[in-house]
Chain A
Amino acid sequence: MFSGFMVNTWIVASIVAVVGGLVGFFVVLRGSAFVAHALPNGSFAGAAGAGLVGINVLIGLGAFALLGALGIGWIGRRDRPDVATALTLVLMLGLGALFVSLSVEYAPATYSLLFGEVLGVSTSQLLPTAGLALACVLVLALLYRPLMLSSVLVEVAETHGIRAARIELLFLVCVALATTMTVPVVGTTLIFSLMIGAPAAARSFVRRPGAALGLSVAIALATVWVAIAAAYDLNLPVGFFVGVLSACSYAAGRAWVAWRRRASAVR
């Protein structure tokens, strides 16, 4: 399980988990689960299009993820954010449907784009993934304070001269970066489940933001590692385990909150 070709898988999956846990914490904090679902899901069209015209998949993914982020920002200026996200998502998916149908031999590749192919990571994918992850973490680190402030207390952030719309756009770009790096490796399902399940669970266990951020990364790492081990042993798709494990960790978090509330009520 730890030999040869599997080494790449472990490294890449760990990077993905760290970035997913970090970005996801803010996704949950800001209530932008729909965006975190839409950008990876929609940018698969970019990968399909790149396959069609024969350029690097990463370029297609990055272009579509960025365009998607800008599109959501632009439509969202005049319409409800959830409507903006939905419209951008379906437009990208519609293009994806066209690209997939035009390239006849693409059906199995569609599956691995949507649900991940974590057990076949090549060494050439290692470097771009690490680079994009680094960029993503760097942007988050630079944005940390204004992002936190504008996520929790919008009014206070405005009085500090933080422009909410600009922060929102930068955050969308950050999600797009994370998407670009993770989709070719782990598929759109996996990254979405990680971005929601782990941080939401962490936030119900710990209240302080810093500690919750750390715990979120830890839960994401544990989820991914267990999922890969299980997928390797049972020969089933890794996306299945990540999806179910993320939901389980969230349920555990909710149960913990309920138990604590009952305990404090008794006392």
Chain B
Amino acid sequence: MSGVLRAVVEPGFFSSGPVQVALAVSAAVALLTSTLGVFTVIRGQSFAGHSLADIGATGGSGAFLIGAGPLWGFMVISIAAAGAMQAVGVERQRGRDVATGVVLGASLGLAALFLYWDSTLHNSSGETYTILFGSMLAISPATVPAVLGLGAVALGVVAIIYRPLLLSSVNAELAAARGVPVRLVGAAYLLALAAAVALSCLAIGAILSTALLIGPAAAALQLTKRPWRAIVGASVIALAASWLGVLLSYDSYYWPPRGHSWPVSFFIVTLVFACYLAARLVGSRGRRR
């Protein structure tokens, strides 16, 4: 038994400091993003969620430029972008994806500028890769309390607005008729989403954080239509994919080409996608019966 375990979990996995940090951060990120992801999928705002993440790249590169921690760069710019999207009106179905796209395009232009300055002024191009694709095994332990704290605050916001948010996500007109302040609830949701995306930018990189946001939620919603069950299912999938991803990345140091770990983000994305495909298979069989 221990031989099998030894073969799966390379020696030194659990006692390694970076691994412990990665496991803690990925657990917090997985729970938070998959919960918000269920609402994002129901509301049809995948593009907004993905845009917030991409815009996070602008913040991360800007923070590196002025020497601040990447988490704060991700956080500030995501919240600013969420505010801008709310102002432009992402609630409207018509024209909202153009508005989102214009904000995204402008901020990607800024990211190009910041990354260019990062690599010319600081003379390092590895930073581009870290900001865009993340490096979970290189998170500094000092940021862990901030990550857990921000995650708890965002989850708290979702818990407080859970019922009105669900109602206004499923049927905005009905919610408004029942006296739910739809715009206010939408704004609170976008803020929580911005925080979640900022945290997952830190963990698996700006352009891959959409995987944890949309993938587990989409998979869970293939299996059940009950929101509460979907949230639990999505959290389980996200947590399993993240931890397994960290483990596989740690193991992959001994895979070809030897002496070079495969990126954590790649494993997480692949596992999440596999879960989605499996859920779709199971879901379609259940529906046929």
List A residues at the B interface (Cβ < 8 Å): 28, 31-34, 36-37, 41, 78-80, 82-83, 85-87, 89-91, 93-95, 97-98, 100-102, 104, 107-108, 110-111, 114-116, 187, 189, 192-193, 196-197, 200, 236-237, 239-244, 246-247, 250
| Cβ-defined contact, B47 with A33, below 8 A | yes
Known: A94-B269, A246-B102. A111 touches B50 (CB 8 A): no
Asked whether B50 lies within 8 Å of A97 as measured between CB atoms, the reply is no
Supplied contacts A33-B100, A83-B41, A94-B265, 17 more A-B pairs, CB within 8 Å: A79-B218, A82-B45, A85-B46, A89-B50, A90-B215, A94-B208, A94-B268, A100-B129, A101-B262, A101-B266, A107-B129, A111-B128, A115-B116, A241-B109, A243-B105, A243-B109, A243-B112
Complex: A86 Cα to B263 Cα, angstroms: 20
A250 CB contacts on chain B under 8 angstroms: 98, 102
**B106 lies within 8 A of A110 (CB):** no
14 A–B pairs (Cβ distance < 8 Å), ordered by A: A33-B100, A36-B101, A37-B50, A78-B284, A79-B222, A79-B280, A86-B46, A90-B215, A90-B269, A91-B269, A98-B262, A107-B128, A197-B105, A236-B116
A107 touches B126 (CB 8 A): yes
| Contact for B98 among A31, A91, A102, A104, CB less than 8 A | A31
Least distance between A88 CB and chain B CB atoms (Å): 9
Cα of A250 to Cα of B257 in the assembled complex, Å: 48
Which 9 pairs from chain A and chain B are nearest by CB? A243-B109, A94-B269, A193-B105, A247-B106, A33-B101, A239-B112, A90-B211, A82-B46, A115-B112
Check if B207 is an interface residue, CB within 8 A of chain A: yes
Contact A242:B109 (CB < 8 A) given known A91-B273, A101-B263: yes
Instruction: Tell whether B276 is near chain A: CB-to-CB under 8 Å.
Output: yes
Q: Is the CB of B270 within 8 A of A78?
A: no
CB neighbours of A200 from chain B (8 A): 98, 101-102
Q: Are B44 and A244 in contact (CB under 8 A)?
A: no
In chain B, residues 33-52, which have Cβ atoms closer than 8 Å to a Cβ of chain A?
41, 44-47, 49-50
Counting chain B residues whose Cβ lies within 8 A of the other chain, the interface size class is 35 or more
Check if B218 sits within 8 Å of A90, measured CB to CB.
no
Please state if A111 and B110 are interface contacts (CB–CB under 8 Å).
no
In chain B, positions 73-112 with a C-beta closer than 8 Å to chain A are 94, 97-98, 100-112
- Beta-carbon contact of B270 and A94 below 8 Å: yes
Residues of B within 8 A of A244 (CB): 106, 109-110
**B129 with A110: CB separation less than 8 A:** yes
B132 to chain A: which residues have CB within 8 Å?
110, 114
Q: Are B208 and A97 in contact (CB under 8 A)?
A: yes
CB distance from B282 to the nearest CB of A (A): 13
Q: Are B102 and A102 in contact (CB under 8 A)?
A: no
B113 at the interface (CB under 8 A from A): yes
Chain A residues whose CB sits within 8 angstroms of the CB of B208 once the complex forms: 90, 93-94, 97
Docked Cα-Cα span, A87 to B44, in Å, equals: 13
Contact: B207 with A41, CB < 8 Å? yes
